[in-house]
Amino acid sequence: MTTIIIIGFIQALFFTVLAMAKKRKEPADYILAALFMMIAYQLGVNYVMLTDYKNQLPHLIGTAGPFAFLYGPLLFFFIRYYISDRQKLRPVHFLHFLPFVADQIHNLFYFYHLTGNEKITILNELLAGKPDTELSIVILLRAASPFIYSVWSVMILKKHRKNILHLYSFTSDSLKLEWLWNLAWSMLWVSAAALILNIFIVFSDVVDWIHLREMILVISVIWIFFIGYYSIRKTPFYRSFPITGLENFDTVEADKELTEKYEKTKLDETEVRNLRKKLMDHMENEKPYLNKNLTIGELAGNLEVPVHHLSQVINSDLGMTFFEFINRYRIEEVKARFLNPEYSNLTLLGIAMTCGFNSKSSFNRAFKQFTGQTPSEYLKKREVA
């Protein structure tokens, strides 16, 4: 089992080097490197604690514990900085690191000054599943922190998935950050398992602490590999899917920002009516929805209006997201072309691909949403008719 810990330690160091070796480093890369460095250190200290090396290096015992308060905040800020380049470190953000500082101060007065033998004695009591009350509280708080931040990170990504519907006419795994979504959920499950483990350590007298701890470390090693593999090779979202007219736009706060913009420069009823007519005429005559990569920024540019004005008309006046607005037109175009002899050589899916859809799954979802039936059900009804 210690071999697995060593492998995880080497992996974490390797991904730290890769993150710092990138030619064009983003803030997210520095956060990622810091995260891997701390993981490497904690794995190294855990290796010492679970082997006889603790007798040779007793003063390493307990030094990695406070880092549990940093994993959650670092993941949280990594996700925000990965999604948007508009994130700025504000004084209030330092509050996220107060639990780490408090834990270090606590250790400085109550643990770090102890002799090596005293630290080994405390470690052995912990390994035996007999932590004192004060240590039990610290253990639970350390375990709860990554879990809370994992939940928070999932909520950020969920908000991102909602907000992109106001900006893009298409969906994809890359756009939805499927890889990051899965990793956030995986950390949530790992942190939940660690929290449950530590609850057993504190409240149960019959727990095999060492083997359970090793199991969590093995899961962590696997998690390190996947977050390192995917994170290092990915381009930040804001550079992969830029919005024309909304450069440096924060898709984490997209809905809120657009709302604030058109509240400050809100169109009156006449302006809304004129822009709505201009939009509808453009959609009927130019059919921009046939562009499978259409964004709200591009459509606003075609109409020569600010994005937040167009968003106001689509969201508030028409009561739809940009995604719904465009895909409704695409579905109607599919149905029209299906009846057109000119497209008789194409299947319904083939027609959909010419109408702006970029995948079978996205077409099927949109068709069901706007017609109340699946494409196959639609075809059967047409055959009966």
pLDDT single digits (tens) 127-137 = 776 667 787 88
- pLDDT, position 137: 87
CB burial readout 170-201, b (16+ within 10 A) else e: bbeeebebebbbebbebbbebbebbbebbbbb
Question: Does 358 have pLDDT greater than 50?
Answer: yes
Q: pTM of the entire structure? A: 0.82
User: For tokens 């809100």, what's the residue?
Assistant: 266
Q: CA 337, CA 294: separation in Å to the nearest integer? A: 20
| Backbone dihedral angles phi then psi of residue 339, each to the nearest 5 degrees | -90, -5
- Segment 60-65 shows an average pLDDT of 90
Span 357-365, average pLDDT: 91
Token code pair at residue 250: 């924060």
pLDDT, residue 230, reads 73
Least confident residue range of 1-10, 184-193, 306-315, 327-336 = 1-10
Q: Give the pair of three-digit tokens for residue 146.
A: 């990554």
Nearest Cα to Cα of residue 31 among 252, 251, 254, 227? 227
Q: Which domains occur in the chain, in start order? A: 2-240 (1.20.1070), 254-384 (1.10.10.60)
**Confidence check: pLDDT of 164 > 50:** yes
pLDDT number for residue 385: 57
Is the pLDDT higher at 73 or at 248? 73
Higher pLDDT, 206 or 296: 296
Q: What span, in angstroms and rounded, lies between the C-alpha atoms of 147 and 142?
A: 9
pLDDT class of 86 with cuts at 50, 70, 90 = low
Quick one: average pLDDT of 359-384?
A: 87
Asked if pLDDT for residue 209 goes beyond 70, the answer is no
Gap between the Cα atoms of 350 and 324, Å rounded:
21
